[in-house]
Structure 1
Amino acid sequence: MSAPGPLPGTLVIAGCSRRKTAAAAPMPALDLYQGGIVPQLRGRLAGHPQVLERVWFLSAEHGFLGSRTRVMPYERALTDARARLLRPAVCAAVRERLDALGHRPAQILLVAEPAYLSLLADVLGDEDRPRIRWISEPRGWDEAAAVLDDWNWP
């Protein structure tokens, strides 16, 4: 008997990292970012492409990125002004992604510094808002791995 798949309605969102792979061509966000929980997440999900559509990033440059979205390396900090600019598009994209999951209330594992939480403020005010498990320390892999284990992620 095979193990059940990941818990329905679960989504991982991580903040982007300052450390990035040097690249001359766009590459998937999951491969670009080298800091925070990304290396461990990438290692854990290797060989499990079916869950990559549930892994997303909050980017100071691009807003909301899928793990497979191809981007170039960049340097940008998330300032308050940048967060205000990105917030409407990020919230719209997150709502669209949650609708695609088809499971309410959805559960999000958010591993990001506090500044990134502001990008999701409108979603957190929604009546059918997702349940958020927030790890404010970007290098909080042990906590994140425990949540993924609870959710039966590979």
Structure 2
Amino acid sequence: MNVAAERPVGGLVIVGCSRRKIVTSRPVPAFDLYQGWCIPLLRNRIGPAVSERQRVLIFSARYGLIRADELVSTYEQPMTLGRASALRAPVRRALARHLKAYPTREALVLLEQRYLDVMGLPGTPVVHAINNPVAHFAEAHRILDSWSWP
């Protein structure tokens, strides 16, 4: 067995947005906009690591599935089940495009179960889903460690 072929290539993290955001008059990277949920924990873990930030997607109530470094503006849009359902098709298309650009074997999904149900599982061979990542971020750390993320 070729061990190198079995190792994950890069990994993918999908994280839910948060109600708490910085207030700004100009667009900022999405990863910097959100101040709640588990995004600060993830941001502190990854820091400015460009290659890892390219592999982080945020499920945003306003913008759908966006890259961590995509520029966005402050907004108020609750993530309701209705809104999540409306985003289903565009989110799935965005996920497919991302996986084509950044192929990977594993995904770490940090979403409440109801939003994961709407979005669907990423098309990767291995999916790690943590429905309460604030309480269980040690498990996320373990997975990121296995990917050799900072």
**Same fold judged by TM-score > 0.5?**
yes
Indicate yes or no: 2:128 matched with 1:133.
Answer: yes
Q: Percent identity?
A: 37
Say whether residues 1:107 and 2:106 are aligned partners: yes
1:52 Cα deviation (Å)? Answer: 1.0
Residue identity matched to 1:112: L
Give yes or no for contact 1:21–1:34 (8 Å, CA) kept in 2. Answer: yes
1:7 Cα deviation after fit: 3.8
Q: Which residue of 2 aligns with 1:150?
A: 146
Partner in structure 2 of residue 3 of structure 1: none
CA deviations 1:8-62 (Å, max 9, x no partner) are 0510110001111111111101100111221122122224222111011001111
Instruction: Note the 1:4-153 alignment, pairs <5 A.
Output: 7-103=8-104, 106-121=105-120, 129-139=124-134, 140-153=136-149
Residue 138 of structure 2 aligns with an amino acid whose one-letter code is: D
Amino acid at match of 1:38: I
Q: Secondary structure at the match of 1:133?
A: strand
Q: Distance in 2 between matches of 1:35 and 1:141?
A: 14
Report how far residue 102 of structure 1 moved: 3.1
Alignment gaps of 5+ in structure 2: 1-6
SS at match of 2:107: strand
SS in 2 for 1:99: helix
Q: CA RMSD in A?
A: 1.9
Partner SS for 2:140: helix
Unmatched tracts of structure 1, length 5 or more: 1-5
Q: TM-score under structure 2 normalisation?
A: 0.85
Report how many aligned residue pairs link the two structures.
143
Q: Which TM-score applies when normalising by structure 1?
A: 0.83
